[in-house]
Chains A and B, each alone.
Chain A
Amino acid sequence: MNSTNIRHRIAAAGAATMLIVSGCGGGPAKPPANAGPVSGSGENKPAVTANTTPQEKFDAIVAEREKAVRQVQRALNDAQTREAQQAVLDSFEGDTPFARQILELVDSVPDDPVVVPALGWVLQSSGKADLEEVKDRAVDKLIAAHLNDPRLRESIEGLDASLSISAQRLLEALAEKSEDLPTRIQVRMGLVMSWKRRSEIALQVQKFSQDQLISLKSNLGEVVVESLLKDDTTRLNERTAEGLDAIVAMAEGVEGMEAIVSSAKSQLFALRNLAIGATAPEIEGRDIDGNELKLSDFRGRVVVLDFWGHW
């Protein structure tokens, strides 16, 4: 990691709220991370007729949704006051109606190749609280029939950053039951990192004021926020450590998994030795004049450690 990277990461970290919102696909006005094979398809599509293919029907729903988002964005720009903007947002249901239409489409053509990317789209979408129920149904379908579909990983890329409970359920199934060992390892690593991140977010959210909670709920939905408030962060950290142990055991010696093993090991070290309540690891080294400096020589004093770069 060079210093440019480091600075980039600091900028990316942002405040807690930003972290949360950006990790979840953003508010209702933001398109989902993966718009599926349709992205780039214009507005000049032919109208959907009786003999359009399932793929075309899927594309048409996604195009409708993009149109709806653009309308909301225009309405937001036109809104003169904060209240008016809020009213626009309140009246917009996000991706939920479109996700429902996609589920109906999938139900009507359960064996069509469009099913996997379409269900992936549903899981990547963002909207109000009842979207979680739609996602849950999408996950049921994927687990039942498509876990080993080669296009599944691509369709759900980045889903480990989602706070959606049904998304977690899909990733857990994939980490357990995929026929492909690297897939099981990689998905599990993503999952475990999402627990770590979730624990950090929950810790922040549990300190939020009522006002901050209300605005967070309008972004993430009541279900997700309530579950964050109930999270036991100590337990999440224990689960993270157990998961990392399991990854090291599974992946050690597997070709191509070296980076995951080494990252899992350093995360484990951090969880066990750098958590609040742990005795700080020794620091030995030299100061700018070449004199030896040893952290444990300063027991008996309160110590602030400041990892910094001036750059």
Chain B
Amino acid sequence: MYPHERSLVNRLKDKPFVLFGINTGDEKSLLRKLINDGEVTWPFWIDDTGKDGPITQQWAVEAFPTIYVLDAKGVIRFKDVREEEMDHAVDTLLAELEEESKRKES
């Protein structure tokens, strides 16, 4: 999963896009290593070490990874999309955003 997400983040680095992780259950030293090794190249919340934190609980996460894709207004638009499906969801929403800003300009 890391390589796919890295390539998505890299491909869209100049677009109005951000990928956030919400980590639960890992030691900070391991997470630090993942960053230093260049595995994880995106920002993330530390929810809790060792158990489900408040964010994970509020979002009723039952399996990992759980994915949500939000549009630019913060509305949940896709859930549990993986790999190409995730790319497609993000590209769709980016195209929608671009379309909207064009309409506003004209």
Contacts and interface: CB of A to CB of B under 8 A. Distances in A.
Given A286-B45, A302-B97, A274 B59 contact: yes
Main secondary structure of the interface of B (DSSP, over half): mixed
Contact of A302 (B56, B60, B72): B72
Interface string A1-23: 11100100110010000000000
Nearest to A267: B60
A310 B51 contact: no
Interface of A: 1-3, 6, 9-10, 13, 266-267, 269-270, 274-281, 283, 285-288, 293, 295-296, 298-311
Interface string B74-87: 11111100000010
A305 B22 CA distance: 7
Contact of B47 (A3, A285, A311): A285
A10 B97 CA distance: 34
Contacts of B73: 279, 299
B76 A280 contact: yes
A288 B19 contact: no
Contacts, number: 157
Interface string B30-43: 11101100000001
Interface in B1-31: 1, 5, 8, 15-26, 28, 30-31
Interface residues of B, number: 59
A207 to B, nearest CB: 12
Given A301-B72, A303-B74, 10 more contacts: A3-B25, A10-B64, A266-B57, A279-B74, A280-B74, A302-B90, A303-B70, A307-B56, A308-B1, A310-B34
Contacts of B61: 307
B78 A276 contact: yes
24 contacts: A6-B52, A6-B63, A6-B64, A269-B58, A280-B68, A281-B59, A283-B20, A285-B46, A285-B47, A288-B44, A300-B16, A301-B17, A302-B90, A304-B67, A304-B86, A305-B70, A307-B61, A308-B64, A309-B23, A309-B25, A309-B26, A310-B26, A310-B34, A311-B26
Contacts of A266: 57, 60
Given A269-B60, A306-B19, A293 B72 contact: no
Contact of A288 (B46, B51, B74): B46
A276 B76 contact: yes
A281 B74 CA distance: 9
